[in-house]
A and B are shown apart, each in its own frame.
Chain A
């Protein structure tokens, strides 16, 4: 079985993410790291390969050429190959443009299963998997917290607000996993050392069917409103009362 995992290299959160007012885009000049949510998808793919005792896991991404360093983490965890679509023509692509590029790369791969994390750690869009599935004309199941694959179909337990849906879909299919599905492994030292030598391929926009016009553009940016006045209570035994008083005073209860 061949599993493709779509991952995104995002600015490392530690330094704090920053929007660049000039380009109205996220500042991507710093270190890039593979989005945390995507490591769950990588882990799930590795588990499926291990359970099957055969198969291939390929990570697919679109981003600046530096993103390959971030993809190496997935290779260190155990993925077999990395494919990066990178092209200045794709810079600033919105969800639609990104979906086109990824779908183009995935078409070449012809995987049995395409996995996504639930959302990117920077854009928090949680929609790319749907757009990609749509382009590929494949079934899509999102928010999957338990996944079994066998006999040409998959069964996913889907976390919803009210409980769980269990959904079966024929393969090939697209699945977005939730961060409750597993605990991603740490790359082993041998894995990290071996990652560099694994196949790493880059594709241009032309390789994946050309760059798409973005359907959206960012019109304006504004910082979130200030949090307003906060009051800190030391609990000397009367904090509960004080909180109730505060809520009453603000007419919140």
Chain B
């Protein structure tokens, strides 16, 4: 019998992330608007609120001493941000309208040229770039750097940013979200209070905006709590990427498809790679693979290593040096997997948390920014006299459905229909479009949960190249290159079954790019013990898609990205 990860659900329930306020009222921290997540979505919301406060100080005065606060679990804003990134400037232009020009934003420059390559093991064939993929007028950026920039802008407008702080529970009282509770700090491995124990706090707000990005912890809980889930489950891809200092400049944006992924339908290996120049002396290279894959031996980390050995790719990196590494999931369900509503009483949801990603174009940053901006405007409307909070928050749904975000996502929904997911990088596939169309019946717009795919096993791992510390790296040196310095005597933040079939344990250990899982002793009944090293975790979220559950560890843990 074949094994499905979803047959071994994690010991966790969404209600674990929902609570009533417990701190006595006089100890509660009160803020005006509370934003969870300092990514492009959350920071755009913060900046827009800051602008509105500037424009209308009298109303802002009603928000109290801390009018807007942003919680961020990373060490600093940007520490947990990882993207491509080729940025469509539309979102930023609308956010900074009349306030900032494009050349004042931290971009590496516009995209001058691009190629889409179809790879075989030793060859690369260039295919025409389809119009939907065209990137001229777009800009290359590091999202981590852009995030730091946006955070400074927000602070300049009077927003309070609280890094090293995880939002651990959604506070719900009388059917309404009233804020969040932050995580404790200073607990030992078995949960005991260490000498520097610092308990979490209840933070109360008139509106809470969740902008948690992919695999949002509280977002998932809110979906359940308020029945927001759409008709189709969300699905994800795992992306692993590196930043290199290079000897010679790369003159174009490159996407590849094909090798080292396999074409057979039974493998369900959808994805590709991106290679973007970051100025004249840096290049970023990443591999993206849909998490509905089936092979227990598939490792996106190792596929990226393999990709770098391709003669065409190696040439780009030759004489260079890897300076950073990271991993993160991307919601790929697209239009059909969007939630029913984007608000609930006291709550607004935006960005990757609700799956606003254009899969064929591999873009979500401008949607995150636009949704954050619109969420801010709806939140602000709750201050209008004569408008009920309910009406005010509902305007967010209407505005989102009326925005370019909605139009774009709806437009590409058929792309997905035609190709199955993940073919974006190849968008490419304009050429291939004709060839494959027939294989995907039109109207097939459903998604299946990644964890429902039954596992198979091939000998794929044999072809992963051995680490040489120059071009090819092992997972532990990669974790080091993510800047992860997580204290390893804190409680385990990963919920997962630890007595499972060998195949499943192997799938997890291969899948995790940060070597958190190890296949332990056999129990003699076909199952094995799964061993965990949670402090390696870079919080990519893949485990949540594939049968476990990532919860936020102590604030300040995890990677410390600066260039991703």
Asked if residues B562 and A30 are in contact (CB atoms below 8 Å), the reply is yes
Asked if residues A193 and B196 are in contact (CB atoms below 8 Å), the reply is no
Q: Return the chain A residue nearest B162 by Cβ.
A: A192
- Which one, B182, B323, B485, contacts A189 given CB within 8 A? B182
Q: Return the chain A residue nearest B163 by Cβ.
A: A192
A112 proximal to B (CB < 8 A):
no
A186 proximal to B (CB < 8 A):
yes
The interface size of chain B toward A, counting residues with CB under 8 Å, comes to 28
Q: Give Cα A31 to B78, complex, Å.
A: 11
Asked if residues B162 and A189 are in contact (CB atoms below 8 Å), the reply is yes
B165 proximal to A (CB < 8 A):
yes
Q: Give Cα A31 to B147, complex, Å.
A: 13
Asked if residues A183 and B66 are in contact (CB atoms below 8 Å), the reply is no
Query: Which residues of B, 153-184, contact A by the 8 Å Cβ criterion?
Result: 160, 162, 164-165, 182
Residue from A16, A185, A189, A190 whose CB has the most chain B CB atoms within 10 Å: A189
B111 proximal to A (CB < 8 A):
no
A14 proximal to B (CB < 8 A):
yes
When distances are taken between beta carbons in the complex, the residues of chain A under 8 Å from B186 are 185-186
Q: Give Cα A183 to B196, complex, Å.
A: 6
Query: Which residues of B, 34-79, contact A by the 8 Å Cβ criterion?
Result: 66, 69, 75-76, 79
Asked if residues B196 and A189 are in contact (CB atoms below 8 Å), the reply is no
Query: Which residues of B, 66-103, contact A by the 8 Å Cβ criterion?
Result: 66, 69, 75-76, 79
Q: Give Cα A86 to B485, complex, Å.
A: 30
Q: Give Cα A30 to B562, complex, Å.
A: 9
Asked if residues B66 and A193 are in contact (CB atoms below 8 Å), the reply is yes
Asked if residues A186 and B324 are in contact (CB atoms below 8 Å), the reply is no
A88 proximal to B (CB < 8 A):
no
When distances are taken between beta carbons in the complex, the residues of chain B under 8 Å from A189 are 29, 162, 165, 182, 201, 203
B470 proximal to A (CB < 8 A):
no
- Which one, B29, B75, B185, contacts A186 given CB within 8 A? B185
Complex interface bits, B315-347 against A, C-beta within 8 A gives 1, otherwise 0: 000000001100000000000000000000000
When distances are taken between beta carbons in the complex, the residues of chain A under 8 Å from B182 are 189
A64 proximal to B (CB < 8 A):
no
When distances are taken between beta carbons in the complex, the residues of chain A under 8 Å from B29 are 189-190, 193
Q: Give Cα A158 to B413, complex, Å.
A: 69
Q: Give Cα A15 to B182, complex, Å.
A: 27
Q: Return the chain B residue nearest A190 by Cβ.
A: B29
When distances are taken between beta carbons in the complex, the residues of chain B under 8 Å from A184 are 196
When distances are taken between beta carbons in the complex, the residues of chain B under 8 Å from A185 are 186, 196, 198
When distances are taken between beta carbons in the complex, the residues of chain B under 8 Å from A192 are 162, 165
B483 proximal to A (CB < 8 A):
yes
B2 proximal to A (CB < 8 A):
no
Q: How far is the CB of B489 from chain A (nearest CB, A)?
A: 12
When distances are taken between beta carbons in the complex, the residues of chain B under 8 Å from A196 are 160
Q: How far is the CB of B499 from chain A (nearest CB, A)?
A: 25
Q: How far is the CB of B241 from chain A (nearest CB, A)?
A: 16
- Which one, A31, A183, A187, A188, contacts B76 given CB within 8 A? A31
Complex interface bits, A213-240 against B, C-beta within 8 A gives 1, otherwise 0: 0000000000000000000000000000
Q: Give Cα A200 to B75, complex, Å.
A: 23
When distances are taken between beta carbons in the complex, the residues of chain B under 8 Å from A187 are 198
When distances are taken between beta carbons in the complex, the residues of chain A under 8 Å from B562 are 12, 14-15, 30-31
Q: Give Cα A123 to B165, complex, Å.
A: 30
Q: How far is the CB of B484 from chain A (nearest CB, A)?
A: 8
When distances are taken between beta carbons in the complex, the residues of chain A under 8 Å from B185 are 186
B195 proximal to A (CB < 8 A):
yes
Asked if residues A14 and B485 are in contact (CB atoms below 8 Å), the reply is yes
When distances are taken between beta carbons in the complex, the residues of chain A under 8 Å from B165 are 189, 192
Q: Return the chain B residue nearest A185 by Cβ.
A: B196
Q: Give Cα A12 to B485, complex, Å.
A: 11
When distances are taken between beta carbons in the complex, the residues of chain A under 8 Å from B203 are 189
Known A-B contacts A186-B186, A189-B29, A193-B66; A13 and B485 likewise in contact (beta carbons under 8 Å) = yes
User: Could you list 26 A-B pairs, sorted by A, with CB under 8 Å?
Assistant: A12-B75, A12-B76, A12-B560, A12-B562, A14-B79, A14-B560, A14-B562, A15-B324, A16-B323, A31-B562, A183-B194, A183-B196, A184-B196, A185-B186, A185-B196, A185-B198, A186-B164, A186-B185, A186-B186, A186-B198, A188-B201, A189-B182, A190-B29, A192-B162, A193-B66, A193-B160
State the A residues within 8 Å of B (CB). Answer: 12-16, 30-31, 183-190, 192-193, 196
Q: Which 5 A-B pairs have the closest CB atoms?
A: A14-B483, A14-B560, A186-B198, A186-B185, A183-B196
